[in-house]
Amino acid sequence: MKWDDGLLDTLMAMGLMREGKRAEGLYLEECLAQAWAEPIIWRPNGKGRITGVFCCMEPDCAGAHIIEPERMRAWELDWDGLCCAVASAAKAGGPMHTDAESRVTMLGAITRGGLTRELFLVRGLSRRDGPGVFASAARLNASPNATVLFCGEMPEPQQRRPNWKTVLVLSEIITLHRGKLALPLHRLFEDQTLPAAPAGTAEAASGTLTQTELEVLQALAEGGDEPQLVVQLVAASGHKRDAVMQATRRLISMGLAERPGTSRRKGIAATQQGLRRVGRLPKMA
């Protein structure tokens, strides 16, 4: 992996990254075959610095490639360091607690405008064993008012719990400022995660929407009953692909959007309830 100048050093100094086990291989950009190489590491004549050698079988290639060991170094996320940095950025107080096989960490309590939330940092929910592991996250499941930051994708609507008052993707709100992580603290108190109601019910149609979900629904409404592709929704809403996909999943679960089965074109369209939600249809009497 190539890093921007100075970025890796900054992340290492912040305690967010650490050097891991030396990589077994790498892609050779200088090789005509663009091969995945697993070089032989050796020390010429048993002396001097170690060197990696990979022999390419491409006829027009140079053959043997000398690979500096520096290129085989690998880095990994320091979970404890990330938890400490996020807790500091969020001004969380109190002891940390980690469970669910080190995938869930309570960072402490956060307070704003008289409201108090318990802040959690989560990873690995999308893994195959995720649902089972998260069922054992006792501290998160017991929290009466959790703000949950996910590393990676957002959970499916049916995976959300009623006590998760705010659910956000860390990468979408975190920034790096003067060697420290920064968070928009007001986002941590968004009351936006009501349990998903069955599609088509009045409760579903009146559920709270996040700003992203509202803007994606508005983009769907612009297309009327014509299904929209994800790439179109990304362009129209201005949000990243993962955020748009998460928003459409929740809109579908709320009965505000659907995947029409009668159209030749694949995609997602706003339902009548969805159009009414954003004022494109008159309210029912």
Over the stretch 80-128, which tens digit does the pLDDT of each residue have?
Answer: 999 999 999 999 998 999 988 889 999 999 998 888 999 999 998 878 8
CATH number given to 202-277: 1.10.10.10
How many C-beta atoms surround the C-beta of residue 156 within 10 A? 15
206 band by pLDDT with thresholds 50, 70 and 90: very low
Q: What is the DSSP letter of 46?
A: G
pLDDT of residue 215: 87
- Residues 234-284 have pLDDT tens digits of 888 888 888 888 888 888 888 888 887 655 557 898 888 888 887 755 444
As a whole number, mean pLDDT of residues 20-44 equals 74
188 band by pLDDT with thresholds 50, 70 and 90: very high
Q: Specify the residue for token string 């790439």.
A: 231
Q: 32: which residues sit within 8 A by CB, 6+ positions away?
A: 56, 58, 60, 61
In this predicted structure, the answer to whether residue 199 has a pLDDT above a threshold of 50 is no
Q: 76: which residues sit within 8 A by CB, 6+ positions away?
A: 17, 18, 19, 20
Q: pTM for this one?
A: 0.58
The domain ranges of the chain are: 22-73, 79-189, 202-277
Burial status of residue 157 (CB atoms within 10 A of its CB: 0-12, 13-18, 19 or more): middle
In this predicted structure, the answer to whether residue 51 has a pLDDT above a threshold of 80 is no
In percent, the amount of the chain with pLDDT more than 70 equals 82
